[in-house]
């Protein structure tokens, strides 16, 4: 029954298959276009946090003699 032909010669199953393929193709194209628009941003400054920062550790870990 799901393959009954409509007057225009297209079954419901064929229509749903074509709709799924179209949606998939549209998602792929739009995803590709979004990927092309991304601009590379330079890396953020790796400076040590200032003394007033809540992320400032007690000592500078880069100067820790145990890490050399």
The pTM of this model reads 0.41
| CB-based contact 50:56 (threshold 8 Å) | yes
Residue 15's Cβ-count burial label (10 Å; 0-12, 13-18, 19+) is exposed
**So where are the chain's domains?**
1-30
CA distance 61 to 4: 73
CB 62 within 8 A of CB 48: yes
Chain segment 10-63, per-residue pLDDT in tens? 789 999 999 999 999 998 888 777 666 666 666 666 676 677 777 766 677 778
Q: pLDDT: is 11 or 3 the higher one? A: 11
Higher pLDDT, 28 or 8: 28
- Cα(46)–Cα(59) distance, integer angstroms: 16
């Amino acid at each position: 029954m799901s393959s009954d032909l409509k007057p225009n010669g297209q079954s419901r199953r064929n229509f749903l298959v074509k709709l799924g393929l179209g949606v998939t193709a549209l998602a792929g194209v739009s995803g590709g276009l979004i990927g092309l628009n991304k601009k590379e941003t330079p890396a953020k400054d790796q400076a040590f946090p200032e003394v007033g920062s809540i992320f400032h550790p007690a000592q500078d870990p880069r100067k820790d003699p145990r890490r050399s």
